[in-house]
Structure 1
Amino acid sequence: MKAIYVLIVAFSLVTVPTAQGYSLEGSFLNIDNEDLNYSLFDGNVLLIDATASWCTACDTQLQNLNKVYDSVDSRVTIVTLSIDKNDDIPKVAELKTRFDSQWIFALDSGLDFLDQFEVAVLPTLFLFNEDGSIFKKWEGVTTPTIILDAINEHFIVPFDAAFNTNPGAEVGSLFEDLFANTFFRMVGLMFIVIFVYLKISPSKPTK
C-alpha cells in the first residue's frame, strides 16, 4: 500500500501545461514595413525599449543595450520601439544603422503599446516574462548590469554580466527544456517510485 501511495503522490506532481494566451496584446510595425503581433515573442523573455528618434538620452540607452544584446542568447528578444507618432520608418531605421544594433527596431504605429503601458519618461525599459506579462520597468537610462541581473532571474545558467561572454548558456537552455518536458519528468518520477518501492517493500526471507 505504501508503494501505491507513493505512486499516486508522484504522478500528482506531474502537471500537464495548459494553453494560455499571450498577455502583451497588439502589434507593431518593423522597419521592413511589416505589421507583426507581439505574440510572436511567446516563450521568450522580451525587453522593450520605449524610445523616440529625437531622444538624446535614448542614445546612451542604445549603447547599453548593445552590451546587453552581446551578453544574451536567443531566449531573450530585444525590441527598440518608437512611441512617437511623428516618427517614421526611415528615422527609426537610421537609429539602428547609427548604433549598429542587431535587434528589432519598430514603430508603435497603432499605439497598441501605449494603450497598455504608461510611458512618462524616455527612455523607458519594459521586461516581460515568457507569457507576455510584465515583471520589470525602468525609467531613464539603465545600466547593462541592472538589466542582465533582472534577466538572470529566469534562467538556470545566468548570463555573464562581464559582457561578450555567455558560458554554459546552451547547456542551461538544454536543462530547462528537459525539466519543462512532461514526459521527462514522468520518467524521472517513475525511477523515484521504483527506488522507493524497493526500499520500503519487505524483503523475502531466504531459505
Structure 2
Amino acid sequence: MEKKKNPVQYLVIALLVIAVAWVGYTAYDNNQTKKAQQEAQEKAQQERVNKQQEQTTTADETTAQQPDVVYAPDFEAANLGGQKETLSSYQGKKVVLNFWASWCLPCKAEMPHMVDFQNQHAADLNTEIVAVNLTQQEKSGIGGIKKFVDEYGLNFPVLLDETGAIATQYGIITIPTTFILNEDGAIERQITGPVTDDLLIKLLGEMDE
C-alpha cells in the first residue's frame, strides 16, 4: 500500500520552487537594469562627445572667419620742425604710412601722386599720409630732406627715422614701402614699390565698403 506524502513536504517543495524562481527573476531583472543603465551611460557619453565636437567645429569656423589682426607698432619720431609725434596720435583716421628716402628714384616717382591724393582725396576718405624718412641713410642730412620736401611740395607730415629703429621695427628692406592702416591702427595692406593716387583711392575706398 502506497504511503501518502506529508503535506509539509509539498509545502517545502513549493517554497523551493518559488525561491528558485524568485532568484532567477531577480538575477534577470538586475541584469536588465544594469544593461539599461549601461546603455543610458553610453548614450549620454556619446551625446557629450557629439556636443563637444559641435562646439569645437563652431569655434574652428569662427576662428577661420576672423583673420588675425596685426596692429602697426607705435613709435615716436621728430618732424622737420623738431617736434615729436607718435603714430598713435593719428588713430581714428586711416593712415598711409610711407617709408622713403630722398635718393630713392621710385620714391621720387610716387611723391607727386601722394601730393595729389593728399590734396584731393585724403579728407573725403578720412585719411592722413605719414611719410617716414630713413634719415640714417641720407647723405645730404636734414638740409637735403628739407630741399626734397620743398621741391616736391610735400603737404603731409614727414617724420625722421634718425637711428633706423623704426625701419627695423617694420622690417623695411626695400623702399618705398607703404602700409595702409585702418582707423584702429591695424595693418590692412603692405605695398612694396611706388604707389599712385588711383591705387590709394581704390584701396582706401574698399575699406569703407
TM-score class, shorter = 0.5 to 0.7
CA shift, 1:60, in A, is 0.8
Correspondence list, 1:128-143, <5 A: 128-143=181-196
More helix per residue: 1 or 2? 2
Conservation of the 8 A alpha-carbon contact between 2:101 and 2:137: no
What per-residue deviation string (whole Å, max 9, x for no partner) do you get for residues 134-155 of structure 1? 1111111122211111111233
Partner of 1:125: 178
| TM-score, structure 1 normalization | 0.59
Question: Given the alignment of the two structures, is residue 73 of structure 1 paired with residue 126 of structure 2, yes or no?
Answer: no
Conservation of the 8 A alpha-carbon contact between 1:25 and 1:112: no
Question: Given the alignment of the two structures, is residue 31 of structure 1 paired with residue 31 of structure 2, yes or no?
Answer: no
CA shift, 1:49, in A, is 1.4
Can you give the 5+ residue segments of structure 1 that lack an aligned partner in the other structure?
1-21, 157-207
CA shift, 1:115, in A, is 3.2
Question: Given the alignment of the two structures, is residue 82 of structure 1 paired with residue 82 of structure 2, yes or no?
Answer: no
In structure 1, C-alpha distance between the alignment counterparts of 2:203 and 2:129, rounded to whole Å: 14
State the percentage of identical aligned residues. Answer: 19
In structure 1, C-alpha distance between the alignment counterparts of 2:104 and 2:72, rounded to whole Å: 28
Among candidates 136, 155, 164, match of residue 102 of structure 1: 155
Amino acid at match of 1:79: V
CA shift, 1:35, in A, is 1.7
What per-residue deviation string (whole Å, max 9, x for no partner) do you get for residues 29-57 of structure 1? 10001121111111111111110111122
In structure 1, C-alpha distance between the alignment counterparts of 2:130 and 2:190, rounded to whole Å: 14
Amino acid at match of 1:71: H
Amino acid at match of 1:73: A
| TM-score, structure 2 normalization | 0.59
Aligned residue for 1:46, secondary structure, equals strand
In structure 2, C-alpha distance between the alignment counterparts of 1:89 and 1:141, rounded to whole Å: 23
In structure 1, C-alpha distance between the alignment counterparts of 2:72 and 2:184, rounded to whole Å: 6
In structure 2, C-alpha distance between the alignment counterparts of 1:91 and 1:79, rounded to whole Å: 19
Can you give the 5+ residue segments of structure 2 that lack an aligned partner in the other structure?
1-70
In structure 2, C-alpha distance between the alignment counterparts of 1:66 and 1:125, rounded to whole Å: 15
Partner of 1:154: 207
What per-residue deviation string (whole Å, max 9, x for no partner) do you get for residues 107-137 of structure 1? 1124342232122221111111112121111
Question: Given the alignment of the two structures, is residue 56 of structure 1 paired with residue 86 of structure 2, yes or no?
Answer: no
Question: Given the alignment of the two structures, is residue 144 of structure 1 paired with residue 197 of structure 2, yes or no?
Answer: yes
Amino acid at match of 2:189: K
User: Which 4+ runs in 1 deviate beyond 6 A?
Assistant: none
Larger radius of gyration between Structure 1 and Structure 2: 2
In structure 2, C-alpha distance between the alignment counterparts of 1:90 and 1:78, rounded to whole Å: 22
